[in-house]
Amino acid sequence: MKITALIPVYRVPKRAADILGKLIAMPYVDKEIIVVVDGSTNPEIESALDPYRASITIHYNNEQLGKTESLNRVALRHVTDVFLILDNDIELPDDPAYMDKVASNMERYDLIEIPKEAIANTFISRMMAMEFLSFAMLSFTMAKLAKKSPSMNGAACAIRALLFRLLDGFRPVINEDMDFAARAFQLHAAFGYPRELKVRNEAPDTVRDWVVQRKRWALNNILWIKENFLLILTHFFRTPALFLSTVLFFLPFLASIAVFFMVRRTGLLFLLPLIFMMSQHLYIFTGLFLWPSHLQLILGGGWLPVTVGLVIAALTFFVFSKILRFRFNPIDFVLYYFIYSPVWMLANVVMIIALVLGIKIRTDWKITK
C-alpha cells in the first residue's frame, strides 16, 4: 500500500522539520512525502526544508491559494493508495512503526481521523486540551458504534485516494474537513478513530489567537449544522449503530428541554447540574436553557448538587482520557467546566445571531483562489 504524506505549509514552517525528520526515518518502504508551500516561500521555510530535500517532493504554489486548493491541485492528479494529511503544527510520536499502523488501519477504513491531543503550555491551551478531549470522546464513540462519521477534524487524517477522487477532493468552503466527512458519510465510507495513531496538536497560547480560531470554529459548527441537519435526520433509522451514536450526540439537547420544565414544575433542582454537565460538553445549545438555572442554583446555596454534577462530569472525562490516552488535570477541568465552556458556548451563540441577521463574517483565512 502506497502512502503519500501531504504537509501544507504557509508563511511559517512551525513543526514541519520535525514531521519530515520522523516520517523519513520510518522504515515503511512504499511511502512518499510531499510538502505543499502555499503563498510565497521565505528563508525560514527553506531552512526548515533544506536537510530533507533529497527525500521529499516540494510543490510551490508561488501564490496564496488556501489549504483546500493547495491540497486538491496536488492530490487529485497524484497516483497513490492513501493520503496521510498532516498540518504542519502536528507533533508526531517517536514511533518507527507509525506508518505501518496507518497502513494497517487503512486496510479496514476509507477514512480515519487521527486523534489529536492539545499541546498545553498556557491557560488557554490547557482549556483547549479539555476541549480536544471532548471532541475525541464524540469521534471515538461514532467510530466504535457507527463505523462512520459525518464530521471530522482534518488537521491529521488519512484518506483512501479512491475516496478522495470520488468526492473530487475538498470543496472550497470554510469547513472543508467537516464537509468532506459529511460527503463521505453519504457514501457510507468506513470511518476509524485509531487510538494508537494519536498525535499532539498545537493550540492557541494567547487570547488573540484563540479568538481568531474560535471565530472559524464557531462558523464551522453553525455552517455544518445548517448544511447537514437533514442528512443526519434522514439517516437516523437506516443504521442502528449510527442511530445510537447520533442519539448520544443530540440526547442532551432533546432531554434538556423536557427536564428543564420538569425541574421547574417539580422542584427537582438536584438534576440540573447533571444536565448542565451534558449540555456543556456534548451539545452547546442545551446550555442556553440550563446555564442561568445552574447559576441560580449555585447562588442559592445548592453546593451539594453542584458538586455531584461536577464530579460526575469529571469522572466521565477522566474515564475517556484513560481510554483515549489523553492528559487529564482535575484543576484544569474545574476551570474548563465553570469558565471556559460557557464562554465557548457564547461564541457559538454570537455566530448564530450574526448569521441569522445576515451579518457578513470577515474571515482571516484563504478559502478559494
Average pLDDT, stretch 53-65?
95
Residue-range definition of the domain harbouring residue 170: 3-205
Q: Based on the fold, state whether residues 238 and 199 are members of the same structural domain.
A: no
- Higher-confidence residue of 79 and 365: namely 79
pLDDT at residue 248 in the model:
46
Looking at 158, 189, 205, the residue that finishes a domain is 205
181 occurs within a structural domain? yes
Residue 104's alpha-carbon distances to 27, 32, 83, 139, 323, in angstroms, are 15, 17, 14, 20, 21
Residue 2: pLDDT band with limits 50, 70, 90: very high
- Higher-confidence residue of 300 and 187: namely 187
Q: Based on the fold, state whether residues 169 and 103 are members of the same structural domain.
A: yes
Grid coordinates representing 127?
482549556
Average pLDDT, stretch 27-48?
96
368 occurs within a structural domain? no
Q: How far apart are CA 205 and CA 13, in angstroms?
A: 17
Q: Based on the fold, state whether residues 200 and 268 are members of the same structural domain.
A: no
Average pLDDT, stretch 129-150?
86
What phi, psi does 232 have (nearest 5°)? Answer: -65, -45
Residue 303: pLDDT band with limits 50, 70, 90: low
Average pLDDT, stretch 138-165?
90
Average pLDDT, stretch 343-363?
66
Q: Based on the fold, state whether residues 161 and 255 are members of the same structural domain.
A: no
Region class of 168: left (phi > 0), else alpha (psi between -120 and 50), else beta: left
Reported as a single tens digit per residue, the pLDDT across 280-297 is 444 444 444 445 555 555
pLDDT at residue 81 in the model:
98
Q: Based on the fold, state whether residues 308 and 349 are members of the same structural domain.
A: yes
Reported as a single tens digit per residue, the pLDDT across 219-237 is 776 677 677 667 666 666 6
The total of structural domains in the chain comes to 2
- What one-letter code names the amino acid at 280? Q
Looking at 205, 240, 272, the residue that finishes a domain is 205
Partners of 57 in beta bridges: 34
Residue 358: pLDDT band with limits 50, 70, 90: low
Q: Based on the fold, state whether residues 100 and 170 are members of the same structural domain.
A: yes
Looking at 170, 205, 240, the residue that finishes a domain is 205
Q: How far apart are CA 353 and CA 337, in angstroms?
A: 24
Q: Based on the fold, state whether residues 103 and 201 are members of the same structural domain.
A: yes
Residue 238: pLDDT band with limits 50, 70, 90: low
223 occurs within a structural domain? no
